[in-house]
Chains A and B, each alone.
Chain A
Amino acid sequence: MDIRILNRLFNGSNIKMSTHKQAIDEQTGNSHGTVKSYVIGFTLSVIITCIAFYIVAYETLAPESRVVVLVLLALVQLLIQLVFFLHLNTSSKARWNLVSFIFTLVVVLILVFGSLWIMFSLNYNMMAH
């Protein structure tokens, strides 16, 4: 085991391209992107952020639609950063990351919308009728 690690250290590059766009480091098994994937992810995120700020700063669209668009933009940017920065995908290497992420998402949705539902119901029921 020592000899193989030593050989790889002296070889310099430890990147092995798999059939996916992402690469996997041989030494630690961690997946990582390429310069291209990071540039794409960064550029898309900047564009979406600019659109979001523009919509709010220049008051385009009606207020209700602005809220919806803002939420959608946030979700799209989340997805972009998950895929391009965190390398979340359906490959066998990232599968359990994806599974645990989806579970977390379910818990988060219950927490957030559950709390909102409960507190607003409470508010309503506590008012004098």
Chain B
Amino acid sequence: MAWDEWEQLKTAAVERHSAQMQLNQLPADQQASGSDGSGGRGGPWDSGGGSGTLRSVKAAWTKAGEGVGSLRESISQALANLEEGQKGLGKDLGCMTAAAQRDVYESWQRYVKRVSGRCGALAEILEKTGNDQLKTDEAVKAEIAKLKTEYEDTPALGGQAKGR
């Protein structure tokens, strides 16, 4: 981008930053400006390596969120393909493999749908971080912690549910 455009962005970011809430719990005067990339005390908008403007940092969060969110489209397409492959195998065919296949199909339909849900939930957190709704490290981590509990390992069932 042209130098003057860069300068404009920088100035705008500094102005925005000084008027904003703190990025984390430190008092504002201890916090280095994120816009000149000198690296603050940390926070979701802290620019890594001291190279980004505040806007580019937030854009990175938003872009990541969009990327993860867009995975849901491919997943729905795959689920449609998966279902199409099941034509003819729905009814009871009197054969054990067909019954096993049905169970396997249903388990993966569930799994893939849940992964899609996970994508959506994570995308939302990433986008919220990018557009000011989540403003502190703690806020982001808290949202992520909520996600984690939903997806935790269930070792007691994990092996046996597969029904060997």
Asked if A pairs with B, the answer is no
Residues of A within 8 A of B (CB): none
Residues of B within 8 A of A (CB): none
